[in-house]
Amino acid sequence: MVDKPMIGMVILLNAIAAGVLYQRFHDHPQVQLLESRVLEVYHKLLPPKTPDRCGALKWPSYVLISDRVVFPDGVRPGAVFVEGSKIVAVSENVTVDNPHVMNFKNAVISPGVIDVHIHLNEPGRLDWEGITNGTRAAATGGVTTVIDMPLNSDPVTTDRTQLEAKKKLARAKAFTNVGFWAGLVPGNAANHTRLEELVAGGALGFKSFMCNSGINDFPNVESADIAAALPFLKRRGVPFFVHAEVVTQVESDPSADPTRYTTYMATRPPKFEQDAIRLLVQLLDADTSPAAPGFSVHIAHLADADSLEIIRGAQSRGHPLTVETCAHYLTFSSEDIPDKQTQYKCAPPIRDATNKQMLIKALASGAINLVSSDHSPAPASLKEVESGNFLRAWGGISGVQYLLPATWTALREAGVDLLGLARLLSEAPARLAGCSSRKGRVAPGYDADLVVWEPEERANTSVALNMHTHKLSPYTDAPLYGKVLVTVVGGELTSLFGRINKQPCGQVVLGGDA
């Protein structure tokens, strides 16, 4: 007679091994609840000794096996041993003596994606996004850690009180790990005591705009503000995250059609980015104070590939500049954006196909450090969906759920392999956020933040599986590759074949002083 533990294990392992079949058909009503029911039966037949886990899988320790594990030094068959929230061991021997093994065959096990640029908009603007939906979407797409921007929440995160409020909300609602950038604005740039309070509270660094942010209580900084803050930022060894556009008057055709994307693109030429980056370099030239490890001036969402020449020149003189671009700049081109489709509007704008290819080559060569989503959704009314007016529409792309497949789809043809992708989406973001000693790698002692995915399979970009609060996204039905099967956040099974765990299991990621 077969004992109950064996039945339970057979049920679970066969369900996981049949993952390809399940993920192809999981939208069918007959199998909609397969994941939760399998785990339910499994845990009833084989109850864990310490059933205190938050995630869908209740065992305190288990092993993940794959023919393709992305280790820090290469991709090969391996086993990843998880205990509690940590990776306690890895092995190239896939014959494992453990009763709790999930074998994903040829699917890839990678370090979880870290998105350093996301707007969760909470507190204050839940009608825009929110921690719950934003992190559920992130987990569905293989993102295990997000770093939230100090705007567009209301109020913005420019003092310790608002940082504490965000931390409290994240602990109660986040399905992924969440860290926070604090805001550096004219009101606190020269007040090093207030900046110190934010670092002490766990802020990972600071974000500023060099142009109008669109949010009245988050004004842009001028050169004097940056100069006043630089000595503190360098001494404390924290990143300075900058929206680098200096907006000046441009000649425009008053009769130009505002529903055409080219009309909007003409209002934000590459010169805005180039002028801002040159100003940042001049300020670094002028400030001779020593910089502690961890400090960098980080150029957010670079859209203009020609600006890289300025950045390379500054780096060659020893200036600590880092740079990111976004998945939408790698996926879309201005020539292909239809009239009135304001879901494509962002700032800086999506530029032409030649520029896109230059960004892709820069990522492949290492000239750009990492890729983010800059997830910044807004209600349909703010996106001017009915009028299609690009000039009036809110600028922001909804896309954290698609960061992994969009980046992979763009870069694989440029020669970026699975290891290179992990460095751009996991290792480099962890380094920027100051958590590279515990996140961004599949290695012993690291947090068990993992994504299991199939690079050769199409991602589901349908509206039906879009987990964002607002479904308007340029990625809808886009032909992207990289289908996420499983997302593990801090050892907790959070997403399985598109189904999200019932309760949030994410942790707050704090700076070293907190």
Q: Note the pLDDT tens digit of each residue in 268-319.
A: 999 999 999 999 999 999 999 999 999 999 999 999 999 999 999 999 999 9
Instruction: Assess whether pLDDT exceeds 60 at residue 49.
Output: no
**What's phi and psi for 16, nearest 5 deg?**
-70, -45
**Can you spell out the DSSP letters for 242-301?**
EE----------TTS-TTSHHHHHHTS-HHHHHHHHHHHHHHHHH--S---TT--EEE-S
What span, in angstroms and rounded, lies between the C-alpha atoms of 42 and 51?
13
Instruction: Assess whether pLDDT exceeds 60 at residue 9.
Output: no
Q: Please give the pLDDT value at position 493.
A: 96
**Residue bearing tokens 């996106």:** 383
**Residue bearing tokens 């009245």:** 216
What span, in angstroms and rounded, lies between the C-alpha atoms of 357 and 212?
29
What span, in angstroms and rounded, lies between the C-alpha atoms of 314 and 299?
13
**Residue bearing tokens 């060659």:** 316
Q: Note the pLDDT tens digit of each residue in 449-489.
A: 999 999 999 999 999 999 999 999 999 999 999 999 999 99
Q: Please give the pLDDT value at position 252.
A: 84
**What's phi and psi for 260, nearest 5 deg?**
-95, 135
What's the whole-number average pLDDT of the chain? 91
Instruction: Assess whether pLDDT exceeds 50 at residue 4.
Output: no
Q: For 451-461, b where at least 16 C-beta lie within 10 A, e where not — what string? A: bbbbbebebbb
Q: What percent of the chain has pLDDT over 70?
A: 89
Q: Which residues contact 374 (CB under 8 A, 6 or more apart)?
A: 117, 118, 119, 300, 301, 326, 328, 346, 396, 397, 399
The answer to whether the CB of 350 falls within 8 A of the CB of 368 is: no
**Structure-block tokens of residue 434:** 């100051």
Side-chain half-sphere of 129: how many Cα atoms within 13 Å?
Answer: 32
What span, in angstroms and rounded, lies between the C-alpha atoms of 45 and 5?
6
Residue 25: pLDDT band with limits 50, 70, 90: very low
Residue 99: pLDDT band with limits 50, 70, 90: confident
What span, in angstroms and rounded, lies between the C-alpha atoms of 444 and 90?
6
Q: Model pTM?
A: 0.92
Question: In 3-state terms, the chain is what percent helix, strand and coil (to 5)?
Answer: 35, 20, 45
54: left (phi over 0), alpha (psi -120 to 50) or beta: alpha
What span, in angstroms and rounded, lies between the C-alpha atoms of 336 and 261?
10
The answer to whether the CB of 175 falls within 8 A of the CB of 505 is: yes
The answer to whether the CB of 458 falls within 8 A of the CB of 481 is: yes
What span, in angstroms and rounded, lies between the C-alpha atoms of 474 and 134?
17
**What's phi and psi for 276, nearest 5 deg?**
-65, -45
Instruction: Assess whether pLDDT exceeds 70 at residue 129.
Output: yes
Mean pLDDT along residues 63-74:
97
Contacts 24+ apart (CB under 8 A), 120-124: 120/146, 120/148, 120/153, 120/178, 121/152, 121/153, 121/377, 122/153, 122/166, 122/169, 122/173, 123/153, 123/154, 123/155, 123/165, 123/166, 123/169, 124/153, 124/154, 124/155
Compute how many other C-beta atoms are within 10 angstroms of the C-beta atom of residue 410: 24
Q: Please give the pLDDT value at position 496.
A: 94
Q: Please give the pLDDT value at position 51.
A: 55
Q: Please give the pLDDT value at position 93.
A: 85
Q: Please give the pLDDT value at position 12.
A: 47
**Structure-block tokens of residue 443:** 């290695």
Q: Please give the pLDDT value at position 98.
A: 80
